[in-house]
Amino acid sequence: MSDPREVTTESRPVRIALITAAVAVLLLFLLLPLFAVFAEALRRGWEVFMASLTEEAALSAIKLTLLAAAVSVPLNTLFGLSAAWLVTRFRFKGRALLISLIDLPFAVSPVIAGLVWVMIFGSKGWLPPATLEHLLAPFATVASAAAESENFGGLFEGLAAWLKDPKFIFSTPGIIIATVFITFPFVARELIPLMEAQGADQEEAAVTLGAGGWRIFWRVTLPNIKWGLLYGVLLCNARAMGEFGAVSVVSGHIRGKTNTLPLHIEVLYNEYQFSAAFACATLLALLALVTLGLKSVLERISGHAAAGKH
Amino acid sequence: MKPFLITTALAAALLALPSCKKSAKSAASASGGAELSLLNVSYDPTREFYTEVNEAFRKQWVAEKGGSLEIKQSHGGSGKQARAVIDGLEADVVTLALAGDIDVLHKELQLLPADWQAKLPQNSSPYTSTIVFVVRKGNPKAIKDWADLVKDGVQVITPNPKTSGGARWNYLAAWAWADKQFAKDEAKVLDYMTRLFKNVPVLDTGARGSTTTFAQRKIGDVFLSWENEAYLIEKEFPGETEIVYPSISILAEPPVAVVEKNTAKHGTTEVATAYLKYLYTPEAQKLAGKHFYRPRDKDIAGQFIDKLPLLPMVTIDSDFGGWAKAQKTHFDDGGTFDRIYQKK
């Protein structure tokens, strides 16, 4: 038996040089920026740090970012699940096209992903606000009537007001739409290879045992993909909160109203408020760290789960 | 169990949305008067100034008329902001870097009348500014005037006149000096401009970008800057730069206007007009001076004469025949800027 270490044939100095180079790159490109964010954020003390996070414009940016994520993550989870189920469990015409379409938001530049919404919903676009108002007028009437009702009126008030003056770009709905579009593929992309690899054997077995569609989904499919699904949701959420390009195009940059956290950071930087900008950046950096932490936990659990089954 | 939980969570998330909107709306209805909201779409360097103006005007308006008033701001490159308003950013007032960027709002969508600039005093420019030189501390390259910018080994920082309003003022100020220096000999003026832009190592797209290039990345020996931006650099990077006033510069008139089509829709024409008129009051003029804009009010301008000294200035109307003509001659495709920059 030969010593297993003999597999590495390079001489010791070469190995040391290569490892040093790799570690240096890692430090320079990954750890240094992360350190810089926190150092710059805390450079002018804890009070300045906290004040920049609790200031009105920052709070509004945090709220808007959370709202965009709260809408896009559930929607895209639902969509990703359905899409993955469809393209991995059924064979049909146009399946390849559908898979390509799911990837579209990955393929186009975020600037384009924002500009298309301006082209569609802008004042000189295909569906300008005036046309939308006209098209949505019947719904606006219904919603206004609903808003008048005694019991659930409050629920419809916002909707009715929006339908009367429907705006997408340069307002919250536009930011949500852009975010949904950008984060569209994350869950589906995570699930498709997983479900493809798992195959339909267990589900087919369930069918032969007489289980119905929903029952198969909840009892067989979902337990098999749950870790992959969670991982997809996590990535989807990270991108929804961190997206800059597409959101920047449709935002209008109205302070305290249509700035998301990444946009607010840019504004602060341009105002020479470096500490405040980096204080807000720490929130995004923390989001990244939490995402990475959860990801490795998920990988460990799913690894154990897979190992336990065999 | 699990499906139930997930469905409930989803339903809760969806239901929460309309109620968010509602609570935001009913926040300001305490006093009897109208609840008003204004959106001021402006260019880059005005944020600090308008933050103070907004608060002062809001107090005065609410004291007089009751109700509530909220003034929102949006800032960016002047040309980019005009584009956003055309695309549907519903500005009640625009306060941009040059008249050309407000003209397009009329040309593209008739958002305001063609004669918008006659609606308020002094070409609708409540404050003015000019172009100055910012040099490194101690002025190591001894830059005193426009002639020094074309010397060998001097690096000049200016944004791109194609995309930046400030850069167009820079360009015309340099042109005005050369025009005088070479007694209107256009060949010599073009030669000067060519040599000037040979000394420009970085052409950023906007004024703030150039400021960062010069002040933070420490590139260049002299930065052609808005006067107010020059003082902002002194404030943000104390002891690192000096301001040099050249022998001649240009009177920059950043104009303001009510976007009448939008205010008619929002029911804010009255408050928007009052807001812009407020910019001409002594209070707002003082704030302008404080933020290193030149007040139009002569008495108040006098109070700031130490910081904002008088110097010979050409104007866009009398020396360049107005913005439309200057834009066509110098900055449109095939204009003088294209000619001198291609020679490089």
Q: Summarize pLDDT for A167-180 with one digit per residue, the tens.
A: 888 999 999 999 99
Identify the contact set of chain B against chain A, taking CB-CB distances under 8 A: 2-3, 9-10, 13-22, 25, 39, 44, 47-48, 72-76, 84, 86-90, 108-109, 208, 232, 236
Question: Shortest CB distance from A254 goes to which of B15, B74, B108?
Answer: B74
pTM: 0.80
- Name which of A298, A296, A86, A71 is nearest A191 in CA terms: A86
Q: Which helix (H) or strand (E) holds B70?
A: strand B68-76
DSSP one-letter code for B111: S
Least confident of A149-153, A255-259, B60-64, B240-244: A149-153
First-last CA distance in chain B: 73
Q: What is the mean pLDDT of chain A?
A: 88
The runs of H, that is alpha helices, within chain A are 12-26, 32-41, 45-54, 56-89, 95-107, 110-121, 129-148, 153-164, 172-183, 185-198, 201-208, 213-216, 222-242, 245-251, 261-270, 274-309
**pLDDT number for residue A5:** 58
Report the sign of the C-alpha dihedral through residues A187, A190, A193, A195, in that order.
Answer: negative
Separation in Å, CA of B33 to nearest CA in chain A: 20
* Overall average pLDDT of the A114-134 stretch: 89
**Is any Cβ of chain B less than 8 angstroms from the Cβ of A272?**
yes
Q: What is the pLDDT of residue B341?
A: 87
Sequence-distant (6+) residues with CB within 8 A of A12 are: none
| Whether pLDDT at A28 is above 50 | yes
Which residues have CB under 8 Å from A262's CB, separation 6+?
A: A65, A242, A243, A244, A247, A248, A284
Asked if A121's CB is within 8 angstroms of B13's CB, the reply is no
Tell me the mean pLDDT in the region A77-82: 94
To probe the interface with A, which of B15, B72, B89 has the most A CB atoms within 10 Å? B89
SS3 for B161?
A: coil
Q: Indicate if the alpha-carbon torsion angle B331, A110, A238, A291 is positive or negative.
A: negative
DSSP strand E in B259-343: where?
Answer: 294-295, 313-315
Both tokens assigned to A224 = 């098999």
Instruction: Extract long-range pairs of B261-266: CB within 8 Å, 24+ residues apart.
Output: B261/B109, B261/B110, B261/B111, B261/B112, B262/B90, B262/B91, B262/B92, B262/B111, B263/B92, B265/B90, B266/B37, B266/B90, B266/B92
CA dihedral A104, A66, A63, A37 (to 10 degrees): -90
How far is the CA of A291 from the CAs of A26, A105, A192, A246, B32, in angstroms?
19, 22, 21, 22, 48
What confidence score (pLDDT) does residue A200 get?
A: 87
Pick A271's closest partner by Cβ from B47, B72, B109. Answer: B47
pLDDT of A301 > 70? The answer is yes
pLDDT of residue B3: 47
CB B102 within 8 A of CB B255: yes
Whether residue A267 lies within 8 A of chain B, CB to CB, comes out as yes
B132 burial type by CB count under 10 A (0-12 exposed, 13-18 middle, 19+ buried) = buried
Return the pLDDT at B32.
Answer: 56
- Locate all alpha helices (DSSP H) within A184-260, ordered by sequence: 185-198, 201-208, 213-216, 222-242, 245-251
Amino acid at B276: L
Supply the pLDDT for residue A273.
84
Nearest CA in chain B to A126: B87
What is the DSSP pairing of strand B127-136 with strand B222-226?
A: antiparallel
| Closest approach of A223 to chain B, Cα-based (Å) | 11
Burial class (CB within 10 angstroms; exposed 0-12, middle 13-18, buried 19+) of A170: buried
ipTM: 0.78
Alpha carbons A202 and A198: distance in angstroms, whole number: 9
The reply to whether A175 touches chain B by the CB within 8 Å rule is no
Q: What is the pLDDT of residue A8?
A: 64
β-strand pairing of B35-43 with B68-76: parallel
Express each pLDDT in A214-239 by its tens digit: 899 899 989 889 888 999 999 999 99
**CA R_g for chain A:** 25
- For residue B90, the SS3 value is coil
pLDDT at A6: 61
Residue among A217, A243, A228 nearest A305 (CA): A228
CB within 8 Å of B183: residues ≥ 6 apart: none
pLDDT tens digits, residue range A45-58? Answer: 899 899 999 999 99
- How far lies A214's CA from each of A176, A203, A230, B3, in Å? 30, 11, 20, 10
Nearest to B18 among A129, A155, A222 (CB): A155
User: Does the pLDDT at position A127 exceed 70?
Assistant: yes
- Using DSSP, state whether A12 is helix, strand or coil: helix
The reported pLDDT for the residue numbered B4 is 46
Radius of gyration over alpha carbons of chain B, in Å?
23
Give the pLDDT band (50/70/90) at residue A7.
low
Domains by residue range for chain A, with CATH: 45-105+169-309 (1.10.3720.10), 123-167 (no CATH)
B107, two tokens: 């040309």
Distance CA A265, CA A103 (A): 29
Is A255 near chain B, with CB under 8 Å?
yes
Read off the pLDDT of residues A8-25 as tens digits, 9 standing for 90 and up: 678 889 989 999 999 999
Q: Residue A254 has what DSSP assignment?
A: B
pLDDT at A154 over 80: no
pLDDT at B20: 42
Domains of chain B: 30-125+254-280 (3.40.190.10), 129-252+312-343 (3.40.190.10)
Per-residue pLDDT of chain B (344 residues; tens, 9 = 90+): 444 444 445 444 444 444 444 333 343 444 457 889 999 999 888 988 999 999 999 999 999 999 999 999 999 888 889 999 999 999 999 999 889 889 999 999 999 999 999 999 999 999 999 999 999 999 999 999 999 999 999 999 999 888 788 899 999 999 999 999 999 999 999 999 999 999 999 888 778 888 888 988 899 999 999 999 999 899 888 999 999 999 999 999 999 999 999 999 999 999 999 999 999 999 999 999 999 999 999 999 999 999 899 999 999 989 999 888 898 899 988 899 999 987 54
- Per-residue pLDDT at A298: 82
Q: What tokens does A235 get?
A: 């990535």
Q: Are B231 and B292 in contact (CB under 8 A)?
A: yes
Helices A56-89/A185-198 angle, 10° precision:
30
- Nearest CA distance, A198 vs chain B (angstrom): 22
| pLDDT at res. B154 | 95
CB proximity A4 to B under 8 Å: no
